[in-house]
Structure 1
Amino acid sequence: MTMRALSFGAMAHAYERFRPGYPVELLDLVLAYARRPVRTALEIGAGTGKATRLFAERGVSVTATEPDEAMLAELRKHVPAGVKTERAAFEELPLGKRYGLVYAAAALHWTNPAGRWPRMAALLEPGGVFASFGGPIRLADLELAQAVQKAQVPFLDTDEIPSPDGTLPEQAMQWPGTELQQSEWFTDVRQAEIERRLTMTAREYMDHLSTISAYLILSATDREQVFRQIREVLPAAVELNADLTVHLARLRPQE
């Protein structure tokens, strides 16, 4: 998992170009849940800053943290001038400052589970909010998805990230909501879905796959071969399901 977590830097520019951004509905959902103005936010694993922009452009003072210098350099090209940046993994962040919101955009699964929630709680102000959001981008055509899966099988079983705690896909509450519900540090855990449908050309979809960690850690030869085989089964354009699963939780008042 660590190898996959640190595989993105070489593709920072492609990540910025070919990963979709986040809709304003997500921002509205998080801010409504907070039930009070969110003035400061800490972002974990900010990547190239797609979620950073969403919050910063609404006036939130965002501190974007990212362990990969190449990703952070790409982020700095695109975010508003007031965004603070720090090269650090979640586990390295100092605990002296607290924020009204701590959030992770498709990045929480890269953090170390040991001590994750007490550390998260230590970064939040009293009454502060935690948010995590993301989700796989899947081909909407099931037959096409099966053909692509067959093409990639010689090289990898799946390009998706498995649930960190083994939660099954059919379970109502998904990770990290499952962990948050068990945490002594958080309360009022909620899960929501935001529907997204995307259309990409075959070339754009292949460029998108080039930013997925499961392919990035393959050898150059294997990556070239699997991409060639996938490209052969694609039509000129593809429809994608890119729904976002959002988890929200509130810091539990300390007695």
Structure 2
Amino acid sequence: MTGIFGEVASMYDDVRPGYPDDVREKILDRLGRPPAEVVEIGAGTGKATGLLLGLGAPLTAIEPDPRMAAVLRANFPGAGVAETTFENWTAPPGGVGLIACATAWHWMDPQTRHQRARDALRPDGVLAIFHHRYNYADPAQSAAIDELLMRIDPSVPDKDERWVFDDAVASGVWSDVAEHRFHDRPVFGKPRYLALMQTFSPFRRHAPEIRQEILDGLSAILDDFGGSVTFDLRTTLVLATP
């Protein structure tokens, strides 16, 4: 993950949407009380860090990219920042009360991530994984955008909406796994939408000329649809306990 998003750390922080307060409330309901400490893995610039600090516990944010970590520190000086990967991080003796991961679980080693999280938790701890799915409210606009992106790069995978839940269950290390979903419909004007697209990893992996082709195509589509998009933004929260 290091390097993919650091190039656009400020843009990422500006345009990526945060997470609903309902996520924090569901985590608290599952814990039954505020956690003694929180560890956030793959924290980025802190799009979920403020929500997690609202739990009222000391927070350590793990973020390997130094440019993302610099924005994170500036945004949340009260959080501890560990500039490392989850795989290289060492949990404190006795474990932690909550491990959270917002739209970064797919970057963790799929062979070890669940067992590593389980080993780092207290016996009564909770793993909270949450992420956004960016659907579009207008089916015609959605079809036009999908056609453009698939034509330029048909190799981009589309994970099933329940993949985190299924992944947690299949790991076999959790005694209880639950899923919650939340919906929002934010409206993005064209400049903000084009900036958002530049923060996604499939876009960033392309050569500059392909990136420009994508942006030009998306700009034309938005012009055809009044200059904005309305997302059907779906947030999924998966909670797992040992």
Q: What range is the shorter-chain TM-score in?
A: over 0.9
Q: 1:55 aligns with which of 27, 46, 52?
A: 52
- Aligned counterpart, 2:90: 94
Residue 82 of structure 1 aligns to which amino acid in structure 2? G
Q: TM-score, normalised by structure 2?
A: 0.92
Residue 185 of structure 1 aligns to which amino acid in structure 2? V
- The separation in 2 between residues aligned to 1:33 and 1:6, in whole angstroms, is 35
Pair 151,207 (structure 1): closer, same or farther in 2 beyond 3 Å: same
Q: 1:206 aligns with which of 194, 197, 205?
A: 194
Q: Could you tell me how far 1:215 is from its partner in structure 2?
A: 0.6
RMSD: 1.7
Residue 152 of structure 1 aligns to which amino acid in structure 2? L
Q: 1:32 aligns with which of 29, 46, 57?
A: 29
Q: 1:64 aligns with which of 61, 78, 101?
A: 61
**2:221 counterpart of 1:233:** yes
Unaligned runs of 5+ in 2: none
Q: Do the aligned residues in 2 keep the contact of 1:149 with 1:158 (CA within 8 Å)?
A: no
- Aligned counterpart, 2:78: 82
Q: Could you tell me how far 1:181 is from its partner in structure 2?
A: 1.9
- The separation in 2 between residues aligned to 1:95 and 1:57, in whole angstroms, is 22
Q: TM-score, normalised by structure 1?
A: 0.88
Q: Could you tell me how far 1:147 is from its partner in structure 2?
A: 1.0
Unaligned runs of 5+ in 1: none
- Aligned counterpart, 2:204: 216
Q: Could you tell me how far 1:220 is from its partner in structure 2?
A: 0.7
Deviations along 1:35-54, one digit per CA (max 9) or x if unpaired, are: 13212111110010111111
- Aligned counterpart, 1:22: 19
Instruction: Give the paired residue count.
Output: 238
Q: Runs of 4+ in structure 1 displaced over 4 angstroms?
A: none
Deviations along 1:135-158, one digit per CA (max 9) or x if unpaired, are: 221221111111112222342127
- The separation in 2 between residues aligned to 1:158 and 1:24, in whole angstroms, is 35
**2:174 counterpart of 1:186:** yes
Q: 1:245 aligns with which of 225, 233, 236?
A: 236
- Aligned counterpart, 2:137: 140
- Aligned counterpart, 2:4: 7
Of stretches 186-195 and 148-157 in structure 1, the one that deviates more from structure 2 is 148-157
- The separation in 2 between residues aligned to 1:96 and 1:102, in whole angstroms, is 12
Deviations along 1:128-183, one digit per CA (max 9) or x if unpaired, are: 00010012212211111111122223421276x543xxxx55xxxx2222232233
Identity %: 29
Residue 120 of structure 2 aligns to which amino acid in structure 1? L
